[in-house]
Amino acid sequence: MDAEILLWIQENIRNDVLTPVMKWITSLGNKGIVWIIIGMIFLCIPKFRKAGPGIALALLGSLLLNNLFLKNAVGRIRPYEVIDGLELLVHKAVDASFPSGHSACSFASATVIFLLLPKKYGIPALILAALISFSRLYVGIHYPTDVLFGILDGICLGVGAVFLLKKFGNKLPWLREEEATQED
């Protein structure tokens, strides 16, 4: 079924206008850079400061669980290597396919933003995470199940990061100051 979905996307959704947009969107997720930048920006804004370490925790969790453990443990071959007729639109990957690291780190970070900040920031973050995740299918570098697992895994990592931040975040001086100023 994974192969059928990817070939359907290639045949029915890919087009000359959307392809450069999807390539750009997928590049936003490379190495989690867009989420790292967003987290650093949040660290500079006092009322959003708690989201910065939350994003960092979520990204660290995704790196350890997905990129260092699961990809090596599962070792799934990329779809463009085994699906006849599937055209890859980006450079070949050097690591395994399962799970989608782009999807996992995007949803981990977006979940942190959604849970810690007003919804006017959380909803766009989730939309960006969804676009990055879909772009991985569009460009042909991941199976749908890679992306689905990455999304679910990322949400769990984001929830876990928020839990840890709420439980232990008061030990970080810059976060204690934020809480004190919000009460005034």
Predicted confidence band of residue 182 (pLDDT cuts 50, 70, 90): very low
pLDDT at 113: 97
Predicted confidence band of residue 1 (pLDDT cuts 50, 70, 90): confident
pLDDT at 179: 43
Give CA–CA dist 61/78, Å, rounded. 23
H runs (alpha helix) in 75-143: 79-82, 101-116, 119-138
**What percent of the chain clears pLDDT 90, i.e. is strictly above it?**
79
Query: Between 1.10.3370.10, 3.40.50.1100, 3.40.50.1970, 1.10.606.20, what CATH number should domain 2-183 receive?
Result: 1.10.606.20
Domain locations along the chain: 2-183
CA dihedral 22, 39, 111, 176 (to 10 degrees): -170
139 in Cβ contact with 24 (< 8 Å): no
**What percent of the chain clears pLDDT 70, i.e. is strictly above it?**
93
Give the residue carrying structure tokens 């709420």.
166
> pLDDT per residue over 79-125, tens digit each?
999 999 999 999 998 899 999 999 999 999 999 999 999 999 999 99
